[in-house]
Amino acid sequence: MKVRIAVLVSGGGTNLQALLDAQKAGKLPSGEIALVVSNTAGAYALERAKKAGVPCCTILKKALGSQAAFEDALEAKLREFDIQVIILAGFLNILSGSFTEKYPGRILNVHPSLIPSFCGEGFYGLRVHEAALQYGVKVTGATVHYVNQVPDGGKIIAQKAVEILPGDTPQVLQRRVMEQAEWVLLPQAAEQVCHEIMNHSSEDAK
């Protein structure tokens, strides 16, 4: 039995696509993407899920009135699909500690810098790359880490460095970090975590 994965998205879903492509190429043998959830209406990531034949839905915090109601609805959906691992792929909603502690070692996030640089509250999307360029660092990259109650604060699973080149703009750098680090690391980390869960399950079954 493969480990069932939910991918949470907010936008275009390029990291979701990297996971779907990895699954199609047989690089995610221990896991399967069983659900995609968006917290924004009309996110292009939902189209990617539909094209791949993966069930998807939208849960809107605004419509539900609070973060707690949003997380209750999300949890119900995860239970309905028997989800074991949650991957945040460009998901712009900070989950509460009371939510994350229900899934210890089961929620992964990809962040577009080498944590602990340029991370934490307020650092997402282009802001991360703008900060790296302003600071003048010569190397950046991406990090996949477990999610806990501290934004970008969970244990690191994998990191990959990416060179900053003269003349880089935040947009150019963002693209390079995605192509060279995020899209490579995220499927690898997903497989690693799912593989470990499968091994634990088979040990428990003995």
Please list the active-site residues: 111
Structure tokens at 39: 């917290």
Which residues make beta-bridge pairs with 83?
A: none
Burial level of 171, CB count in 10 A (0-12/13-18/19+)? exposed
